Amino acid sequence: MTNDLSDTLALQRAAYLAHPVPSFDERKSDLKKLQAFVRENRDAIVAAISADYGHRSTHETLFAEIFPVLDGVDHTLKHLKKWMKPQRRAVDFRNFLGARNTVVPQPLGVVGVIVPWNFPINLSFLGLIAIFAAGNRAMVKMSENSRHLAQLLIEKIPAYFPPEKLAFFDETGGVGIAFSKLKFDHLMFTGSGQTGRAVMAAAAQNLCPVTLELGGKSPALVCDDFSLRTAAERLLFVKCFNAGQICTTVDHVYLPNTAVTEFVALAKTIVTQRYPSIDSPDLTAIIDDTAFARITQAMEEAQAQGAELVQLIPGKKWDAQTRKIAPHLVLNLPADTALHTREIFGPVLPVIGYASLEEPIRAINSGPRPLAFYPFSHNKKVVAELLDRVMSGGVSVNDALFHVAQHDLPFGGVGESGMGHYHGYEGFVTFSKMRPIFKQAAFSAVKFLWPPYGKFASKYLDFLSR
């Protein structure tokens, strides 16, 4: 496999050097092929992802994987000509009268992409949209938990793209390590912070720039002026979507102390209406036995230390055979439990009461900066204060998750939740060299500052430096 990776990189590098700057029409064709692949293989993609999960809601795959790619291509094609145009920049006329400055977006070359299992089409193809819009070539390494989908991509993509343009690789053991050591022109990784550190360390050996989309404990904060029912409806949709296996899902929610009891009652009603039982086809399974054990053991640990688990649908709490977990709230969560200290990545929502806004602000700021922050309030001053004082990768106000679905907003983390951005124009910039070009005028005024330095140079520099 290492030879396959190196050979493919050499093939793509040679193709890039032979044709370094694809035209708008070529990029448009590549984007249309991405769109055609997803559209023409829609049902097979849905089936493959569901097989990888054990069960994945068809509607969730259509909503979160298929549609964003189709729509993302349309958005990019609408703006790509403008993005590709050289940008005029200002010139300091005192020293460079008549000169011109431009910034020209040019392709980097070959981009590596390491994709997680939770949204494998979304997180590979939205990256590829930006990569191809910028004129690059790409190699994509899929997750070990995406075997069925990886096989589909490896089998079908060659009918749409030659290997010198796009190649997919399965994780068969050690591939990710070898992949991250390749001398790419840029490397994009989405996944855990622990793996992200290893990827960044490997890329650093080649001085390869990285975009890291990691995770963390993204909080929601409901203020007392906001409708508790509306907040519950929106938060629980996001928390239960994909069984909570989303890097930008609501990890936990802060509520006014006086609202906790009512929120619990609302949550039971709302979730039961949406998922009558754990066997509902709309409830997605946990990805594998390891993840299932991690979540259920964390729930049992919390309960053993005094937390209250509130099951939101009737019947079994969980089913090891189907790897489904009933959505739960957690009350009175001790601080030293896994549910409190680690990203949950499951359908479990700790509820934390507060007496004043200072309490959640201090609590959030005492930990790593989250990938997302979800304040709920109609008070503009309160929202502005929260946004000033709580830093995060992105924000949805009065809802959760959906800032990620906006094609014209950059997506990315900050601090331990990641670095760099993609989606939309920022994705185009990330995968381009925004190349500064200075063109000197026919006559250069700088010649008056050539040595040997005389009185004019002294007086002029004295004037400039006052």
Query: What number of residues does the chain have?
Result: 466
Q: What share of the chain is helix, strand, coil (3-state, %, to 5)?
A: 50, 15, 35
- The pLDDT value recorded for residue 135 is 98
Sequence-distant (6+) residues with CB within 8 A of 425 are 79, 83, 408, 410
Q: Rounded to the nearest 10 degrees, what angle do helices 120-133 and 67-84 cross at?
A: 20
């994705």: which residue's tokens? 427
Alpha-carbon span 101 to 202, nearest angstrom:
36
Catalytic residue, from 65, 171, 247, 343: name it.
Answer: 247
Alpha-carbon span 140 to 407, nearest angstrom:
22
Is residue 247 annotated as a catalytic residue, yes or no?
yes
Element (H, E) at 127: helix 120-133
Alpha-carbon span 244 to 287, nearest angstrom:
11
- The pLDDT value recorded for residue 1 is 64
- The pLDDT value recorded for residue 445 is 85
- The pLDDT value recorded for residue 466 is 85
Is residue 213 annotated as a catalytic residue, yes or no?
yes
CA dist list (Å): 417 to 335, 347, 392, 404: 21, 21, 8, 14
143, 149, 150, 139: which is closest to 113 by C-alpha? 139
Q: What is the DSSP string of 183-199?
A: --SEEEEES-HHHHHHH
Amino acid identity, position 43: D
Six token digits for residue 226: 């906001």
230, 260, 235: which is closest to 348 by C-alpha? 235
pTM of the model: 0.96
b or e along 195-217 (b: 16 or more beta carbons within 10 Å of the residue's beta carbon)? bbeebbebbeeeebbbbbbbbbb
- The pLDDT value recorded for residue 203 is 96
Q: Over the chain (466 residues), what is each successive 10-residue block's mean pLDDT?
A: 89 98 98 98 98 98 98 98 98 92 98 98 98 98 98 98 98 93 97 94 96 95 98 98 98 98 98 97 98 98 98 97 98 96 97 98 97 98 98 98 96 96 97 98 90 91 88
Catalytic residue, from 213, 223, 240, 343: name it.
Answer: 213
Burial group, residue 137, by CB count within 10 angstroms (0-12, 13-18, 19+): buried
